[in-house]
Amino acid sequence: MIRPLPGDGPGPRRVGDSLDRVTTSLGVPRSSTLAKVFAAWPDLVGESVAANARPRSLRAGTLVVAVEEPAWATQLRFLEADLLARLAEVLGSGEIARIEVTVARR
């Protein structure tokens, strides 16, 4: 059950605010956080990596990224500390603590 938040009352609400309430109640990050990750991804990792690696989910501070080939997984694991620093610049410190890379072929 979703509990009412202060200021919740009858009347129109922004969809993003409603989504944030639902995602928070489910223990996942705010929709705006996910939107920022997906929007900034090519700038964070570069066009060539972005073409081969896609963010899939974010839960409990872990960003799951899917790649098509094991070589890309190795590359992203090598760049994890740098990527976490870049993500902190975009999202703020503490939103993402680690990156998990999985190989998921098409």
State residue 30's pLDDT score: 62
State residue 18's pLDDT score: 64
Residue 44 lies in a domain: yes
CA distance 71 to 40: 23
Where in the sequence is the domain holding 55, given as residue range(s)?
36-103
Residue 31 lies in a domain: no
Residue 77 lies in a domain: yes
Domain total in the chain: 1
Residues 9-33: pLDDT tens digits?
A: 666 766 666 666 665 665 556 667 7
Residue 23 lies in a domain: no
Residue 19 lies in a domain: no
Residue 17 lies in a domain: no
Residue 10 lies in a domain: no
CA distance 96 to 61: 4
DSSP one-letter string for 49-94: HHTTEEEEEEETTEEEEEESSHHHHHHHHHTHHHHHHHHHHHH-TT
User: Residue 5 gets which letter from DSSP?
Assistant: P
State residue 79's pLDDT score: 92
Residues 57-105: pLDDT tens digits?
A: 888 889 999 998 999 999 999 999 999 999 999 888 888 999 999 998 6
What is the CATH classification number for the domain harbouring 50?
3.30.300.20
